[in-house]
Chain A
């Protein structure tokens, strides 16, 4: 019973490039969450999605960031025109229902040069 999977585990981008982070939820989970953890800071909620729907994106920066969870395939967090301040660990979590325990993937460490 595979857990939440994220790839890549490490991603290096130069300023101005695009970063695509992928997350496959646990089997049987249809709710996906993205969090960002900046160096020396706590986890910050970014976005909550169900299949084909964004439920809550109140934590997403207004520009350059987008997320999707298509009917087929993993959830994608996309960061366009990355800047150094985007360097962080991005964690994905999934749950069976919106109120249930969230289980985390291993994260993607993004480094922007």
Chain B
């Protein structure tokens, strides 16, 4: 079993749609959690950190469920510019971060 597993995708959605990505992790000692996006195999860029209380940044909402070892990302009102690969990242502390393989999103007009 992989340490971090994501929905394989790809997700193809029309503009304006709401889309949700899921991610599960296996190590209960994981300490911090992030979503990154990666465009066309350029460098990953931080989208948002994920907290147990949930956090929102504009059209993006991230949620963490420690009991179920589950992280989610919700994108509302999808834009063409949201097309990218979304990476779930779990940090064990001591510098050890594990990246999921990513979920590809394509938003179509």
Q: Could you list which residues of chain A lie within 8 angstroms of chain B, going by C-beta atoms? A: 31, 33, 35, 37, 41-45, 48, 55-56, 89, 91, 95, 98-99, 101-107
Contact = CB atoms under 8 A, between A and B. Distances in A.
A52 B8 CA distance: 39
Nearest to B85: A42
Main secondary structure of the interface of A (DSSP, over half): strand
Given A48-B96, A55-B95, A91 B43 contact: yes
B101 interface: yes
Interface residues of B, number: 23
B91 A99 contact: yes
A38 to B, nearest CB: 11
A35 B101 CA distance: 13
Interface string B91-107: 10111111111100000
A99 B32 contact: yes
Nearest to B38: A43
B42 interface: yes
B31 interface: yes
A45 B90 CA distance: 12
23 contacts: A33-B95, A37-B41, A41-B101, A42-B101, A42-B102, A43-B44, A43-B87, A43-B99, A45-B96, A45-B97, A55-B95, A56-B94, A56-B96, A91-B43, A95-B95, A98-B95, A98-B96, A99-B91, A101-B49, A104-B44, A105-B43, A106-B42, A106-B43
Contacts of A41: 101
Which 4 pairs from chain A and chain B are nearest by CB?
Answer: A42-B101, A98-B95, A104-B43, A48-B95
Contact of A42 (B31, B42, B97, B99): B99
A103 B34 CA distance: 12
B12 to A, nearest CB: 18
B49 to A, nearest CB: 7
